[in-house]
Amino acid sequence: MKAVIGKFGDIFKKSSREENKVQKNIFVEILKGAGFGVVFSIVAVLVFAALLKLFNFDDNVIMPVNQVIKVLSVFFGCFFVLRRQKKQGLVKGLLLGLVYVVLSFLVFSAMDGSFNLSITLVNDLFFMGIAGGVSGIILVNLGRRVIKKR
């Protein structure tokens, strides 16, 4: 029995070249999703800044709204990448959250003109990684239900 499984099991294995191509595609998709999240963040921050200017909100509102914008950005980035995926939502979402933080740090620091590393970056890596992982789990499981209903 083992010989038969061994003979036919090799047919279903992917070559290392195919595995590398799939891994590259996943990395490209994660970069695209993180880029989408950064674009969403820029637009959301601009809209929020306009609202702050118009309505004179307290300064206490800025930090929580920025966190909500970040979480929504990671979620939409995950949605962009994972809407048709059936597995590995946690891993892909976690990676997307981490890549999003790095990209957004680079983009917003370039806009500000200073690259200051602080504990906030570490906190963002931790929390957006969690937000990405949770988003990935939710989106992959929702995607499975939608695919099964079709």
How do the pLDDT tens digits run along the chain, 150 residues long? 444 454 445 444 555 665 555 566 888 889 999 999 999 999 999 999 999 989 888 889 999 999 999 999 999 999 988 877 778 889 999 999 999 999 999 999 999 888 888 898 999 999 999 999 999 999 988 866 655 555
**pTM > 0.75:** yes
Rounded Cα distance between 96 and 82, Å, is: 10
pLDDT of 141: 87
- Which among 137, 9, 47 has a CA at the least distance from the CA of 1? 9
Give per-residue burial for 63-83: e unless 16+ CB within 10 Å, then b.
eeeeeebbbbbbbbbbbbbbe
Give me the residue label for tokens 């590995």.
Answer: 88
pLDDT of 14: 52
